Every structure is written in C-alpha cells, then in structure tokens.
Amino acid sequence: MTQNSVLIIIGGGIAAYKSLETIRALSRRGIRSRAILTRAGAEFITPLSVASLTGDKCYTDLFDLTDEAEMGHIELSRSADLVLVAPATADLMAKTANGLANDLASTALLATDKPVIWAPAMNVRMWEHPATRRNVRTLKGDGGIFVGPGEGEMACGEFGSGRLAEPTQIADAVEAWFDAHADGRLTGRHVLVTAGPTHEPLDPVRYIANRSSGKQGYAIARALARMGAKVTLVTGPTGLTPPAGVDTVKVETARQMLAACEAALPADCAVCCAAVADYRPQIETEHKIKKERGGLSTIALSENPDILRTLSNHETSRPKLVIGFAAETDDVIGHADAKRKRKGCDWIVANDVSPGTGTMGGDNNTVTILSEEGEEAWDNMPKAAVAGRLAEKIADALLGKK
C-alpha cells in the first residue's frame, strides 16, 4: 500500500457498523484502508460492504490458502503504516495483551511491527472490569494508542463509559499520528498556496463569484505543511477551517488576492488553486441596486488581474516552481495545456468540473498534471489524496529528484 495507509481490524459488537463510516472518514482525509473483519464482526456487517469502501479485498480467514500465497498474514500485518482496531472488543484486547493468536485479527496484531491505535467498544461493566483495565495498561505499556471510549447510553440499555468513539474522532487521531510522523522533506522551504473563490462586489448585498469550495487548496496547504514547508495560504471566502500550522491570509477580491500573493514573496513554489473571478463590476455602489429601476439589467465589467500569469512572469521574485489549476468542462486537456503555455507556469493541474462530476464543492477530484515533459493522469481520489500526491511531486521537484 502507498503512504498514509491503515490496516483496520473490525471487532464484533453492534458498534461494528460504525467502522464503515470510519473508513469513509479516513478516505476523505486521503488515507487508504485495508481491512480485516473478525468472525464476530461479520455478524453485524458484511465483507462486501467493507470491501466496497476500502476498494480492496476484506480479509477474514487466517487459513485462506489464496491469501496466504498472495498476501500472507505476516505481510498483511505490515502492509500499512498504522494498525487501527475499531471497534476494539474486550476479547481482542485480551488476546493481544496476553500474546494469544488463534485467528487472523489476533495473529496480525502479534505479527505487526507498526503502531496500533485502539478504539474500544463494550459494555460499561466489561470496560470497568479489573481484567480489562489490566489489559489496557499492558497495551499502553507496549506502545498502544487509545481513542475513547466515550460515555453515554449503550445498545444494551446501560449508561456509562464504553461507547465507541465517533468515526470523525477516530479519523482525527489517525490523521494526528500521520502529522506527527511526517517526513519533513520540505523543511526550510516556503510555499504559497491560493484557494477558494473570490467575491467581486456589485453592491453591499450582491457579488460575482463561482462555485469553488476551497477544499482542494486547503488540502494542498495542509499536505505541504505536514512535509515541513512554511506555507502561506491566501484564501478567498470559504466555510472551511484553516489548516493548523499554516499562515492564512483571508481576502475577498482578486485584487486583494494578488496583493497578498506578492506580499508573500519570495517563495520556492506557488500553487495557484484559487478559482479567481475573471471579471469584476466596474462600479461598486454603496447602496443596494434596485431591480425596479433597471439597475441590474446591464452590468459593466472590468477584467481582473491575472494572478497566475503575474507570478509566472514575476520580474524579481518568480518562484522556482509555479503551478496553476485549470477547471474545465470540455476538451479538458487541450484547454488546460493551452492555459499553461499562455500563462507561463511550469505545471497545470487539469480537472474536469463538468456537471455530474461532483468536483466543484465535492470531496473527490480527477486530475491530470501537464508540463513540458508531457501529461500524467491520476485516478479519481479524495482531494486530500490528490493533495498528498501533489505535495510529494512538489518535494521531488524542489529537491531535484526525478
């Protein structure tokens, strides 16, 4: 499996159904999953449902000869960067704490050389039992990381500690682990990233804009920061929380975005992901324009500054690597490559935003990287995964790796 991958072990219990949403939450963060479903877990969810979300086979049987030939349990236990047990039952924790291995899940847990995150889920009496508390101490002493359990009403009707942590909490813990163990290859490098739309005001109420959510640009800023880069994120209006560890500059208009970008120079790399409005109203009124007076029937427009072209041709502080984005609805590659040549940038990331793709505002993207060397098409994947892969490619370029 590739970087940022998790082997998720799904224990038995009613909370097993939440593992499906946990896989989704990890995917939205660009983290791939491979799964082992215990026999008890399969009483609550099916291997097919798990496999459909991971995009990989769901592993269940220790003695499946095909799996042993193609993906032995030792290799499976070490195939990911991290092991996640969610839900972690009292039985799974007891087996691991005491070195027992009689099925695929417990064997993988003993054979792995990777860190293990435990997300317990069980009845409150089971959680509070001295044997369980002893096993938890042992697992923590062995380096195990715990998420939860939470407190609340349980499926059995009792109330107390033992509820599985919410899928987003579990995914946050996994993501935090990856953040803490990032490779830092871009330490000492400065990267400028633009994101989101720009709003070009017509009056105090209305503006010209587009459908950009900012998700792809924010994900890129975060991925670069995780690699140690000093990141300046210049963002138009979005509903997103700025990534931690990133210098965020909030702007509204294209002219403000250009000014903020130039103020952030010099930079080693600029990633122009923002969907900047091409035009703005020539006149911004101080009062709301009334349609009854015909004020909205004709709007005179002026062309906005071209941020990508300006940075690509900057006379004094051109970044070593300038990357643009091309959101197209037809002849995607042709229009994008023409834009690359016209603007003078080094790479263009072409993405199809035609109706039905769900790219604008969605969580996934399908991109093609265009440069002088040719084109490199990537499969559809979460925007966080696109960001991680692009950050790796940027690091390779800045560090001179082919």
The H or E element that residue 351 is part of is: strand 347-352
The torsion angles phi and psi of 10, rounded to 5 degrees, stand at: -105, 110
Do residues 31 and 2 touch, judged by C-beta distance below 8 A? Answer: no
- Cβ contact 58:35 at 8 Å: yes
The DSSP result for 215-258, as a single string, is HHHHHHHHHHHHTT-EEEEEE-S-SPPPPTT-EEEE--SHHHHH
Active-site residue 156, yes or no? Answer: yes
Contact of 329 with 354, CB cutoff 8 Å: yes
User: Does 323 show up as a binding residue in the annotation?
Assistant: no
Active-site option among 58, 156, 269, 345: 156
Q: Is 305 annotated as a binding residue?
A: yes
Give the residue from 391, 402, 397, 390 showing the smallest Cα distance to 184.
391
Q: Flag whether 120 is marked binding.
A: no
308 is in an annotated binding site: yes
320 known ligand binder: no
| 3-state DSSP percent of the chain in helix, strand and coil, to 5 | 35, 25, 40
Is 139 known to sit in a ligand binding site?
A: no
Closest CA to 170 of 15, 300, 48: 15
Run of H or E residues at 208? strand 207-208
Q: Is 95 flagged in the annotation as binding?
A: no
Binding residues for CTP: 278, 288, 305-308, 325, 339, 343
Catalytic residues: 156
